[in-house]
Structure 1
Amino acid sequence: MRGKRAAAVCLVALVALSGCTDKSDKSAENGAVASAAPTVEASDPATAFKAAVTKTNQATMTFTIDADLGTLGSQKASGAADPKAKATGYHSDLTLSGRSVTIDAILVGSDLYLKVPGVTSGDRWAHMDMTKVKSLSKLGLDASGNPTNLGTLDAEVVAVTRTAPGAYSGTLDRTKNPVVAGAGGVSEALKSVPFEATVNPQGYVTSLVIHTPPVGSGPASTSTSKFADFAQPIAIERPDSAEVQQAPDELYQALQ
């Protein structure tokens, strides 16, 4: 029973990574290295913003997450992603319903390594074969393994307004996000969720703020994600085999 309780706590914590889902923003100086010429914004705000989302999703990056989950708690996380290598690594400190949970995760290809107190032994990583799991969404991750869910943003966009050069606001249909939908996010309120975002002159999304309204018994929440170090070399490697154990069956069962 202890293993099942630990697995349940782990799952709740990981799903919260979506934002119910500090490093300074160095995107301007790093963007200058990746692209010498500024990107000209398209006349249509939605087209311009979606193009920036696509470009950002294709680049290596670092990210931070700062989420205020209302009465449920809060989350602070940081990490890096390399889409071409299908690799993501991050650390998260989550406070949920008065309980603190620290999560370290490394995803490389179909291998997920987790370090979560109560689930893994001591300082060891728990390995999961993601080919045995139906969807990363139950772990609070998009298809690329990014906990910011930037990979699903294009599909969620409902309306976009350009408020200033490189600044956008609009609404998202969060029911189109597998993480939110998988958590029972079918409320009409989730079909028009306000957001603000900034895009640097090189065409990368540098910040995304999502204001999720109260849904059911869940409180309103605000999730702020920041992105930087675009197209820079990033090394995300598997843990040493001596530090790895296989994930317990309870964790696999909870993800099916």
Structure 2
Amino acid sequence: MADPAKKLTAAAEKTAATSYQFRAQDPAGAGTIEGSADPKTSSSTATMSVDLDAANKLTFQSIATGGAFFLKITGLPTTGGTDLAKYWLKADPAKITGTLSFLEAKDPIDVQGVVAHATNLKSDDGTLFTGTLDLSTAGSGGLLYDAAAAKELGDKAKAVPFSASVNPEGYVSGLKVSVPAYGTEPASEGSVTLMSFGSPVTVTAPTADVMPMPEQMYAVLNEQ
């Protein structure tokens, strides 16, 4: 293929200009994420489940719309006599700096941002692209890798194995990053599947059972 980078960039631009649904595996393998987003209206919804152990898990439901961001969290112990699981917590996105920061984004997958940092791209058929991704410049990671990996990998972060799939309609339908082991962390693989391009995404801000995010909860969120 003459210029795989040019074709993948065009597919990423097309994908970022429409609504989509997505499904992903947490980079650490601890849970799953499903949702939908419309970058044009800056709206998204998502549900993320994280296994704490064999018997317990946390579930995060998110709504981002109209510049506001809400989270509902189940699986947490009662805090200060308040059962937070009953409420939508209105959060300040600027205070969420961990892996969960992708939930408040208008474009949670950020296909364009990921593809922009891909290098050494090759493709034999124009549907499967392989190359490397520079994690040191590619941003927080979100669904594809733990942000800590970029710092801990050192020079290895500049060329991590990467692949992308483009469907017959020209949309990016899959992304995959293979992060090597670092420190005490084993090698991991982050993958995202995108689908239902152009389907309507209806997002409505909650109006009942809403409360401000308790300050102590930001520390909990940033550990995820």
**TM-score exceeds 0.5:** yes
1:250 matches 2:216 = yes
Equivalence for 1:59? 18
CA distance in 2, matches of 1:169, 1:96: 33
For 1:67-78, list aligned pairs within 5 A.
67=26, 69=28, 73-78=29-34
Equivalence for 1:108? 65
* Two-structure CA RMSD over aligned residues (Å): 2.7
Equivalence for 2:115? 154
For 1:22-33, list aligned pairs within 5 A.
none
1:228 matches 2:189 = no
Q: What secondary structure sits across from 2:136 in the alignment?
A: helix
1:117-168, Cα deviation, whole Å (9 max, x unpaired) = 32761331100133xx167666341883444343521332122110323111
5+ residue gaps, structure 1 = 1-41
CA distance in 2, matches of 1:162, 1:208: 14
Q: What secondary structure sits across from 1:175 in the alignment?
A: coil
Provide the TM-score with structure 2 as the length reference. Answer: 0.80
1:46 matches 2:12 = no
Residues 224 and 81 from structure 1, CA distance in 2 versus in 1: closer, same or farther, beyond 3 angstroms? same
1:212 maps to amino acid: V
2:216 maps to amino acid: E
Judge conservation of contact 1:77–1:93 (CA < 8 Å) in 2.
Answer: yes
1:81 matches 2:40 = no
CA distance in 2, matches of 1:216, 1:147: 28
1:179 Cα deviation from its structure 2 partner: 1.2
1:158-204, Cα deviation, whole Å (9 max, x unpaired) = 22110323111111011213214953622222211112221112210
1:97-128, Cα deviation, whole Å (9 max, x unpaired) = 76522111111132111111327613311001
* Structure ranking higher in helix proportion: 1
Equivalence for 1:185? 150
Residues 55 and 194 from structure 1, CA distance in 2 versus in 1: closer, same or farther, beyond 3 angstroms? same
Q: What secondary structure sits across from 1:76 in the alignment?
A: strand
Equivalence for 1:26? none
5+ residue gaps, structure 2 = none
Equivalence for 1:91? 47
Moved over 4 A (4+): 96-99, 134-138, 252-255
Provide the TM-score with structure 1 as the length reference. Answer: 0.71
Q: What secondary structure sits across from 2:124 in the alignment?
A: strand
Judge conservation of contact 2:69–2:104 (CA < 8 Å) in 1.
Answer: no
- Candidates 123, 129, 132, aligned match of 1:171: 132
1:193 maps to amino acid: V
Q: What secondary structure sits across from 1:53 in the alignment?
A: helix
Count of residue pairs the alignment pairs up: 208
Residues 183 and 142 from structure 1, CA distance in 2 versus in 1: closer, same or farther, beyond 3 angstroms? farther
Percent of counterpart pairs with the same letter?
A: 26
